[in-house]
Amino acid sequence: MNGFFYPRTATGQAALIPPPPWHYSGDLLTVEYRTDPERVRELLPAPLELAPEDPGAVAFIWADWQSCRASKEELLDPVLSQYKEAFVVVRCAFQGVTYSRCVYIWVDKDFAILRGMHQGYPKKLGSIHQTRPHPYGPAPRVAVGATFGATVAAADRRLAEAVLTLTHESETNGFVNSHPMAHHRVYPSIERGAQTDAYSELISSGSASFEAGPAFAGDVELRLFEAPTEEVARLEVEEIIGGYYRQVGVVWDGGSTLAKLIP
């Protein structure tokens, strides 16, 4: 049987996602801020702990992606390669090492959901938008002075929106999402009435390779909205750290198990 995740067939042609490596071109709009660290702690299952430094730091990140396998074939049928996402990253610690961790994420394609299942991102469908830079007409250039908007909605409700004006080139694109990711991969038990997981592991992963243009920092506003099936607004904005914009090329090629939890 062939096919990386599912469905599996004789040829593997129908598989929703190819095996890694996965190649990405994209634009990242990042808002970093501080919230009450207790709200971060609530989102860290064992064996994770709060990061020792700046434990309430949060990154709200929008990304506008094109992704493909090494042959790039999905790029030429772009319904198979283009997707957008918005996600929330906190920091945490495991065995004395600081990791980044995605606690909420919305995407707009099924292949992105299944890649998230593989990588441990808790992906829901959403409607995600960010202003695209362009060299002509009214859209902003990637340059000091440019202003970008970013929004995310799910289940017919606006969840968050940001406006970022670039003020200067920056040495960093933020720090909250700069560690390897520490994610759980879980499978609830199929048994009737079970409240346990059949499978659970803690994994770590990061980019296999990375290229990027200059990072820009700027003035940013972020608004979070309540919704009946979301909790992102609990991560209240107490203090803005900064806003960042960067165009990147990334390769992701797997990770490694930090801890087998179940069985």
Among 31, 59, 68, 90, binds its own copies (CB under 8 A): 68
β partners of residue 33 = 58, 240
Among 92, 170, 205, 217, binds its own copies (CB under 8 A): 205
80: nearest Cα among 48, 119, 112, 105:
112
Show contacts with its own copies in window 219-258 (CB under 8 A): 228-232, 247-250, 253-257
Query: 6: which residues sit within 8 A by CB, 6+ positions away?
Result: 15, 16, 114
Show contacts with its own copies in window 156-175 (CB under 8 A): 156-158, 161, 163
Torsion of CA 13, 14, 18, 24, to 10 degrees: 110
Q: According to DSSP H, which parts of 104-144 are helical?
A: 110-119
Q: How many residues bind its own copies (CB under 8 A)?
A: 104
Which CA distances in Å does 12 have to 5, 7, 79? 10, 8, 19
Among 97, 143, 144, 194, binds its own copies (CB under 8 A): 194
Nearer to its own copies, 134 or 172 (CB): 134
Binding letters toward its own copies, positions 102-121, x by CB under 8 A: -xx----xx--x---xxx--
Among 131, 170, 173, 177, binds its own copies (CB under 8 A): 131
Among 47, 50, 98, 127, binds its own copies (CB under 8 A): 127
Nearer to its own copies, 98 or 225 (CB): 225
Give 209: exposed, middle or buried? Use CB within 10 Å, 0-12, 13-18, 19+.
Answer: exposed
Q: Contact at 8 Å (CB) between 123 and 84?
A: no
β partners of residue 200 = 186, 262
Show contacts with its own copies in window 30-59 (CB under 8 A): 42-43, 45
Binding letters toward its own copies, positions 83-102, x by CB under 8 A: --------------------
